[in-house]
Amino acid sequence: MYSENILLKSVEEVKKFVNLVSGFDFDIELVSGRYVVDAKSIMGIFSLDLDKPVKMNAETDDAKFIEAVKPFVAS
């Protein structure tokens, strides 16, 4: 499992993120407080508080995926 805090600062970033993760065939979820949503659901993501980083959990250790999501990782 791969976990990282990510930050989605704009509507465009959310769209890019959803398009990116939708290309992978494993489960990816975003966690904000007690809320957990499917990272492939744009509506689910917009239901979260995006003013602060959210936790991403992916059921993989795929190096291509880890490299692909690096632009969204909160530093």
- Say if residues 17 and 28 touch (Cβ distance below 8 Å): no
From first to last of the 75 residues of the chain, give the pLDDT tens digit.
999 999 999 999 999 999 999 999 999 999 999 999 999 999 999 999 999 999 999 999 999 999 999 999 997
pLDDT of residue 43: 97
pLDDT of residue 75: 75
The CATH class for the domain spanning 2-72 reads: alpha beta
* DSSP state for residue 3 in the 8-state scheme: E
CA angle 37, 65, 11 (to 5 degrees): 50
pTM of the model: 0.92
The number of CA neighbours under 13 Å toward the Cβ of 47 is 14
